Amino acid sequence: MITINRLEAECSRAIKKLTPDDILRVRTWKGDRGFSISLSDDGYELIEDGFQNERYTFRTDTALRKAVRRIAKREFPRSHKLRFSLTAKRS
């Protein structure tokens, strides 16, 4: 669990450590909305699951961080605590 204020810093730290076998998941405390980030051949893949269900691909981590900021405002408008996990993809 992290606070919404730490989201950007924690995502930046985790994105630097991301490998092709990892998935970074950020969900609300209830677990009903969120997004996940993974590393693909084209760059970073961000999957939004909540108010909007979209899939984005970013070539740079700078563009990804900007999108995370925008999506966090939309998906977590009243959230204070978030579930933050970095896990391995299932084969």
Range of the domain at 60: 2-88
Q: Cα–Cα–Cα angle for 30, 20, 46, nearest 5°? A: 45
Percentage of the chain beyond pLDDT 70 is: 98
pTM (2 d.p.): 0.90
Q: Which helix (H) or strand (E) holds 26?
A: strand 22-28
3-state class (DSSP) for residue 73: helix
In this prediction, residue 89 carries a pLDDT of 78
Q: Total structural domains in the chain?
A: 1
Q: Are 87 and 17 in contact (CB under 8 A)?
A: no
Instruction: Give the per-residue pLDDT at 91.
Output: 55
7-17 helix and 61-75 helix, angle to the nearest 10 degrees = 140
